[in-house]
Amino acid sequence: MSTTLPSSSSSSSSLTSATASTTGSTPPFRLLASIVVSSPMTNGGAVSISGQNFDHDSSINIILYYQGVNTIFNSASSSLSFTVGEGVGTNHAVTLQVKNNTGHVLQSTSFFMSYQPPRISSTSSLTYNGGSLTLYGVNFGGNPNNVTVNVGGVLCVNVRSATHVAISCTMPSPRSPPDPVVEVFINVGNQRSA
């Protein structure tokens, strides 16, 4: 069963094992003890959650709460899949509830979902006098207000033209001769490039 959720404003996670009884001889609904929740890229993507006995009782509703949206899965299979929109950062709270047909909560489990961190693949050339710098890679987000660029310990200013795969900024003139090799990294949301 799949659904699509809206964009957010901001790896992997694991869930704690929990069991809830259902009616009759149906095995109880149970989330697996240590599942991996996939991390989408900053332009959005699929996230999957695995469990057991999701499809054994038609009177159970599985409800996913994320970013103020409630998504109901009726008698889903052993895996729930949902699509998140564009976003950045870590620790986005997701709650999964199991309710019976009268609305009584049988189980509630919360976990965190994270977007993938930024990765730089290349940069444009930069002269001793500073100037415009463009970084290329993935997971840069789409909002320049969520991004900082650091070149050899100096912040690049006027971050602009942010896309998920490229970003430009202006590098100020250095106060002393630059090293021939400097570390370049980008922070997007609360994640630093490796």
Q: Following DSSP, what letter does each residue of 74-92 receive, concatenated? A: ES--SEEEEEE-S---S-E
**64-119 confidence digits (pLDDT tens):** 777 777 777 655 566 777 788 899 999 888 887 878 778 888 878 788 888 999 99
Residue 28 corresponds to which tokens in the numbers above? 């109880």
Q: Report residue 55's pLDDT band, with 50, 70 and 90 as the boundaries.
A: low
pLDDT of residue 103: 82
Strand partners, 177: none
* CA–CA–CA angle 115, 116, 122 (5° rounding): 140
pLDDT of residue 183: 87
pLDDT of residue 158: 94
pLDDT of residue 130: 85
Q: Which residue has the tokens 């959720």?
A: 5
**133-160 confidence digits (pLDDT tens):** 999 999 999 899 999 999 988 899 999 9
> In the predicted model, is pLDDT for residue 29 greater than 80?
no
Stronger pLDDT, 17 or 149, i.e. the higher one: 149
Stronger pLDDT, 94 or 180, i.e. the higher one: 94
Q: Report residue 177's pLDDT band, with 50, 70 and 90 as the boundaries.
A: low
pLDDT of residue 77: 62
> In the predicted model, is pLDDT for residue 56 greater than 60?
no
Q: Are 89 and 116 in contact (CB under 8 A)?
A: no
> In the predicted model, is pLDDT for residue 187 greater than 70?
yes
pTM: 0.72
Average pLDDT in the chain: 75
Stronger pLDDT, 28 or 64, i.e. the higher one: 64
Pairwise CA distance, residues 157 & 8, whole Å: 25
Task: Report the first-to-last Cα separation within the chain, whole angstroms.
Answer: 35
pLDDT of residue 134: 94
H or E element: which one contains 169? strand 166-171
Look up residue 90 and give its amino acid. T
